[in-house]
Amino acid sequence: MEVEHFSTEELSPEEIKQLEELKRIIEAAVSDGILSHSELEHIKNVAFAHKKILPAELQLYSKLVLEKIERGELEYGW
């Protein structure tokens, strides 16, 4: 399976702004090492706010949440 990587050069200025906002929200949510259900719902709401999920948003979520969970650096708080 081939996986395409994104570059911010491929994103519109609006998409870059959305990605930066999502990154800020995720970083704040995981800063204590625990991701609560309400924090996860907030992340989802922000990601879905523009009615589509960008591949860059999925990659960001994977890097900042899923990979940290796999390494034991983050846990779900519910």
Residues 38-69 have pLDDT tens digits of 999 999 999 998 888 889 999 999 999 999 99
CA dihedral 19, 49, 4, 68 (to 10 degrees): 60
Q: How much is the pLDDT for 52?
A: 86
Identify the residue with better confidence: 77 or 32. Answer: 32
Q: E strands along the chain, which residues? A: 34-35, 75-76
What 2-5 contacts at long range (C-beta under 8 Å, 24+ apart), as own/partner pairs, is 4/55, 5/59
Band of the pLDDT at 3, cuts 50, 70, 90? very low
